[in-house]
């Protein structure tokens, strides 16, 4: 086989999961489809290196002498003209020529050496005449900048972005090394200001990045970067795929944000939306050349019923060029470090997950409902990224539990590094909404947190960004609700509701962080229990920004109790940074005691103890531990700086006794207050490690 071939041994898959043997034909069929596309790319396009740099050929490119070349794929058009401010929107003065592949092209000589004929940041469009004689005008599909003039119209205007060299941002910092485990801070630039308006890239760089660094996160996942006309869509109805959202600032300011994060040792991931696209025509890809089937499938196959959006045709050569180049563009031009792929479940199944409950039966993954074209695209995307950028991080948002999703393409998998553990936040909602504290099933909780595919890494999270939206509830809201507005001051007595809320908020997050996966994710503001829902400006709220913001002032106020949750979040992340439990083998759970409401496990040499009992504290509670020695408490949720009652102080010495207990070789005894979690480490492993973690 040639070097470009990506063959795999089917028996390796069987060794990974014996139940997959019956489905090897389907797995091999998918891999063959991927390999066929890869062969075509290497045979006819010069390999990944050339094929994924479509943005250097398509759209607007500028030569060294100032010549501007514009190319656009629109095979259905009969005529095409470039129009804009530069030619006073004359539909006849700059005709384009079409090649055999349906690509239109025009070259504009410079006004003077090095001076392009199209001024920087001026408006441009492509004007086309269809076979019917109808004229249509579109925003260039590969355009790098679009802006919205809210005074006259909601639609976007495309701009020729070509700043002089003196105004281009120059990256100063190299990419950080891929972290062995990711602690992700999921953020939305627009809501990252306390003011009632859209936040900016510059403000995020100045005000929010230092917070993220102090909290101990080593990765940021940026939402809503790809341009979308409807702010309240959370960025999931994309119109211009190569344009970073102008509502937050300029492309150069986004580059500065990412470079500054790199200087802090933080990687930056893009929330990429290749699962669907906005159905907008005037400022989107829909009906770009007058047909229903250019970038998307024709008819019902090309439409998502629930999302009211268009679906890409992943079996099209030019669509693959567009999407794969889109990934390369953000890696090269903005220096992103990887991607969280949105809506992967919708992509991998012909039914898009609509009205489908996944039982875990393998026939659901490899049967007639699977979309092999889309799966082959995801394999190509991962193979491209990991080939060109060995340190890249890719994460799949998949609710179905698709086997092999996070197995390398070379081994027959789809190639993602991580999958999101979407069942975990659902579990907490059900418990807090429907089950009293006394009836929580410790075994069921542990099962949900540990029930993940062997050899495939997961990102655990306690609550999703969707829960922060109006109409839903964050964990803090489920726990404390209206009392968050009245009883979060240190000047007021600690009520039972607030005491319970603070305690469980910390316990739930540490349990998820340390037991639920190989990575951890938090949506901004949730770390300190942000007290208000997220409601973007819309007609239903009189286009108000009142709830489309993050109130950093309340966590900075020393008189309010939000600081305690923030302190604990930082301590939790910094402790993981030291002991690296996320990159360690899965925890060994030695105790799931339902009547005591106790959970005990070991991971990365640490002993984790959780007492979820609402009223009972346990003196000298015996817990098993495999490694003998003297242990000390390095994290204690009952500490005063975390809003606890300090019934137990950190530190201390807990020697082990060599005797089997709960399946472990040794045991020790610890006082565990009600609704408290503790982390113990061997005293020889730098006792008192927590001293400087959350100051």
Distance CA 662, CA 350 (A): 47
Distance CA 500, CA 437 (A): 10
Strand partners, 599: 592, 610
Contact 641, 649 (CB under 8 A): no
Confirm whether 342 is a catalytic residue: yes
Residue 499, token pair as written in the block? 């005491």
Phi, psi of 402 (to 5 degrees): -50, 120
Q: What ranges in 362-437 are assigned the alpha helix state H?
A: 363-366, 372-388, 423-434
Distance CA 234, CA 42 (A): 37
Confirm whether 373 is a catalytic residue: no
Which pLDDT score is estimated for 4?
Answer: 67
CATH of domain 588-692: 2.60.40.1180
Residue 569, token pair as written in the block? 């979040």
Which pLDDT score is estimated for 355?
Answer: 86
The catalytic position among 271, 371, 383, 397 is 397
Break the chain into its structural domains and give their ranges: 10-51, 182-579, 588-692
The catalytic position among 157, 203, 227, 342 is 342
Q: Which residues of 574-603 are buried (b: 16+ CB within 10 A; e: fewer)?
A: bbbbbbebbebeebebbbbbeebbbbbbbb
Which residues, 6+ apart, have CB-to-CB distance to 31 below 8 Å?
Answer: 6, 8, 379, 409, 412
Distance CA 568, CA 589 (A): 23
182-579 belongs to CATH 3.40.470.10: no
Task: Report pLDDT digits (tens) over 284-335.
Answer: 999 999 999 999 999 999 999 999 999 999 999 999 999 999 999 999 999 9
pTM, two decimal places: 0.96
Which pLDDT score is estimated for 692?
Answer: 34
Distance CA 625, CA 654 (A): 11
Distance CA 242, CA 582 (A): 34
Contact 56, 45 (CB under 8 A): no
Crossing angle for the helix pair 496-515 and 562-579, to the nearest 10 degrees = 20
Distance CA 298, CA 633 (A): 61
The list of the chain residues with pLDDT below 70 reads 1-4, 152-153, 685-695
What is the Rg, in whole angstroms, of the alpha carbon atoms belonging to the chain? 27
Which pLDDT score is estimated for 695?
Answer: 29
Task: Report pLDDT digits (tens) over 579-609.
Answer: 999 999 999 999 999 999 999 999 999 999 9
Q: How far apart are the first and last CA of the chain?
A: 58
């Amino acid at each position: 086989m040639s070097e470009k071939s990506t063959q795999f041994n089917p028996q390796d898959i069987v060794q990974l999961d014996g139940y997959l043997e019956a489905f090897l034909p389907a797995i091999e069929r998918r891999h063959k489809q991927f390999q066929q596309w890869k062969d075509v790319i290497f045979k006819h396009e010069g390999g990944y290196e050339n094929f994924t740099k479509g943005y250097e050929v398509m759209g607007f490119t500028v030569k060294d002498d100032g010549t501007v070349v514009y190319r656009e794929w629109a095979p259905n058009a009969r005529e095409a003209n470039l129009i804009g401010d530069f030619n006073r929107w004359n539909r006849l003065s700059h005709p384009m020529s079409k090649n055999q592949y349906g690509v239109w092209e025009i070259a504009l000589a410079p006004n003077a050496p090095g001076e392009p004929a199209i001024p920087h940041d001026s408006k441009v469009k492509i004007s086309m005449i269809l076979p019917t004689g109808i004229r249509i005008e579109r925003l260039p599909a590969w355009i790098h900048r679009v802006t919205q003039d809210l005074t006259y119209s909601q639609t976007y205007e495309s701009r020729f972005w070509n700043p002089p060299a003196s105004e281009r941002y120059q990256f100063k910092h190299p990419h950080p090394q891929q972290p062995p485990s990711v602690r992700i801070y999921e953020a939305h630039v627009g809501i990252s200001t306390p003011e009632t308006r859209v936040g900016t890239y510059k403000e995020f760089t100045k005000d929010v990045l230092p917070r993220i660094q102090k909290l101990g996160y080593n990765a940021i996942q940026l939402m809503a970067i790809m341009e979308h006309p409807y702010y309240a869509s959370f960025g999931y109805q994309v119109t211009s795929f190569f344009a970073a959202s102008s509502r937050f600032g300029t492309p150069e300011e986004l580059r500065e944000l990412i470079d500054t994060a790199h200087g802090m040792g933080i990687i930056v991931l893009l929330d990429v939306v290749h699962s669907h696209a906005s159905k907008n025509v005037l400022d989107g890809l829909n009906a770009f050349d007058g047909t229903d089937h250019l970038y998307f499938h024709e008819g019902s196959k090309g439409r998502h019923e629930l999302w009211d959006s268009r679906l890409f045709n992943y079996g099209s050569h030019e669509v693959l060029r567009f999407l794969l180049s889109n990934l390369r563009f953000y890696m090269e031009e903005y220096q992103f470090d990887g991607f969280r792929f949105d809506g992967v479940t919708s992509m991998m199944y012909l039914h898009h997950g609509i009205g489908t409950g996944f039982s875990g039966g393998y026939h659901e993954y490899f049967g007639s409902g699977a979309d092999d074209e889309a799966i082959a695209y995801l394999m190509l995307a991962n193979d491209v990224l990991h080939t060109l950028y060995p340190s890249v991080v890719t994460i799949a948002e998949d609710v179905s539990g698709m086997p092999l999703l996070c197995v390398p393409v070379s081994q027959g998998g789809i190639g993602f590094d991580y999958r999101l553990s979407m069942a975990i936040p659902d579990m907490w909602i059900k418990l807090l909404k429907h089950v009293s504290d006394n009836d929580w099933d410790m075994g069921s909780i542990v099962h949900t947190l540990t029930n993940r595919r062997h050899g495939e890494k997961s990102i655990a999270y306690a609550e999703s960004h969707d829960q922060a939206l109006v109409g839903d509830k964050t964990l803090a809201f489920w726990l404390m609700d209206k009392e968050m507005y009245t009883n979060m001051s240190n000047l007021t007595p600690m009520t039972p509701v607030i005491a319970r809320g603070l305690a469980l908020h910390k316990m739930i997050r540490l349990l998820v962080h340390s037991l639920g996966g190989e990575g951890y994710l938090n949506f901004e503001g949730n770390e300190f229990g942000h007290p208000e829902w997220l409601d973007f400006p819309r007609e239903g709220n009189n286009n108000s920004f009142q709830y489309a913001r993050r109130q950093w002032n309340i966590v900075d106020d020393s008189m309010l109790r939000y600081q305690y949750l923030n302190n604990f979040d930082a301590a939790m992340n910094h402790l993981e940074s030291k002991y690296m439990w996320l990159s360690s083998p899965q925890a060994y759970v030695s105790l799931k005691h339902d009547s005591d409401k106790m959970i005990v496990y070991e991971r990365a040499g640490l002993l984790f103890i959780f007492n979820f009992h609402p009223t009972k504290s346990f003196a000298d509670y015996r817990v098993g531990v495999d490694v003998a020695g003297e242990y000390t408490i390095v994290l204690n949720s009952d500490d005063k700086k975390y809003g606890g009652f300090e019934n137990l102080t950190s530190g201390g010495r807990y020697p082990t006794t060599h005797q089997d207990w709960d399946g472990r070789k040794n045991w020790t005894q610890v006082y565990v207050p009600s609704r408290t979690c503790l982390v113990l480490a061997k005293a020889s492993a730098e006792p008192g490690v927590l001293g400087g973690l959350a100051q």
